Amino acid sequence: MREAHDIERQVGIEYYVSDADGIGGRLRDSPADFCVTEIELFDTEPVDADPAAYPHLVVRATLRDWDTNDFAGALSDRLGISRERVSWAGTKDKRAVTTQLFSVDGIDSEDIPELSDVDIEIIGRAGRPILFGDLAGNRFEITVRNPETPDNVDDITDDLRAFAGVDGMNSAEDATVAVPNYFGQQRFGSIRPVTHEVGLAIARDDWEGAVMAYVGNPHDREPEQTREARAVAETGDWQAALDVFPRHLGYERSMLHRLVESAGDEDSEDFRAALEAVPTNLQQLFVNAAQSYVFNRILSERLERGLPFTTPVVGDVVCFTDSDAPEGLTLPDTSRTQRVTEKRLDSITRHCERGRAFVTAPLVGTETELADGEPGDIERAVLDEVGIEPTDFDQPGEFHSEGTRRAIAVQTDLTVERDPLTFCFDLPKGSYATVLMREYLKRDPDDR
């Protein structure tokens, strides 16, 4: 194992599993170098179905260099509706070409506007909105430009094949590989990784600390103007901060507007109200990021202790495959779990080897039950270090989370094309392409 980059360690990613040198190079020289297409898992009725019974119009949008939240905001603005009436299954990278489903409540197909660098296809109607997670996975085609040592691809692939427990029968151009199922850097903020700090403060009932982690807390990777604005916010002069905050930082400005309205007499409820001024999906993201950070820390500790990822040990909790997954894509079903005891170890190991079961770790919430044995020791030690416990996620509104479990390894069939150097693979929902690609590039994740 190698140590991860400094900024990765800030979000709990401590290691690379591949010892081979990286290939270098750049991702996303242009949006077309990073193509993402949803593997859809959402049923619709015909577009002429009764709008009273099926009020949500479902569209497939191909976005070029669009942040998902920004697109939802632009679409709702053009339609003259609340941003909350636009829903989607998963947030995608901005500097990319992404194809995904959106639902829009209460509009007709002829209402859909034209937007720059967007192609929209009307799919049908639905009786409910698309919700986060309403997809099976994503298909990626990623081109690396100007790799410094492209021949290192083979050695890295061999390491990732070994991590997957594959015996080497694949070719370097078409291999089954695996990596730890880390949450990628973008989960926390690629330039300023702070969303988990906000979520951890919320879990500790520190609402003021949560706001300040987001509107204050300047980072040395930000532009000077932004750092200076955050420094003003840290003085508690909300109007002065609002006057200098860059216009494109709309979420911070929304929080500051709410604090200005409290007229200098803020209490815990005012700071919570400031957090509630941002879209509900961002409120949820703060808590999810805290859970993701703890999860990453647990995986890093498991790596450090040398415990396996694709086969269980006594004390682990495993989940089984989702029988409703599309053909060719294996999905973990975390609603079906089983604890690994001495008596069950051999049979569950066989299930894992055949791709029918997966070792998991917790996304901690109020209903979380921790593992036993050494895996449980790791989970409890990380929670102690972070200073939270499962009951801390019993919070109001969108900040509440019951938690779940998540597979600790992600496996995929990888195809590599050499000219230009392009990586093609599918991942289940919730897994990050950048977590696989970081093993190949081995450089600062902010070097695009």
- Give kind and range of the element (H or E) at residue 406: strand 404-407
Pick the catalytic residue: 33, 65, 93, 333?
A: 93
> How many whole angstroms separate alpha carbon 344 and alpha carbon 340?
6
Neighbours of 383 (CB within 10 A): 20
> How many whole angstroms separate alpha carbon 83 and alpha carbon 414?
37
Note if 446 is an active site residue: no
Provide the sign of the torsion angle of the four alpha carbons 125, 126, 131, 134, taken in this order.
Answer: negative
User: Within 13 A of 355's CA, how many CA atoms are on the CB side?
Assistant: 14
> How many whole angstroms separate alpha carbon 201 and alpha carbon 166?
42
Q: Do residues 313 and 375 make contact, with C-beta atoms less than 8 angstroms apart?
A: yes
* Residue 20 token pair: 């081979």
Phi, psi of 139 (to 5 degrees): -105, 130
Q: Do residues 157 and 414 make contact, with C-beta atoms less than 8 angstroms apart?
A: yes
* Strand 97-105 with 34-40, pairing: parallel
* Nearest one of 69, 9, 6, 62 to 36, comparing CA atoms: 62
> How many whole angstroms separate alpha carbon 168 and alpha carbon 355?
17
Q: Do residues 215 and 233 make contact, with C-beta atoms less than 8 angstroms apart?
A: yes
Q: Which residues are catalytic, by number?
A: 93
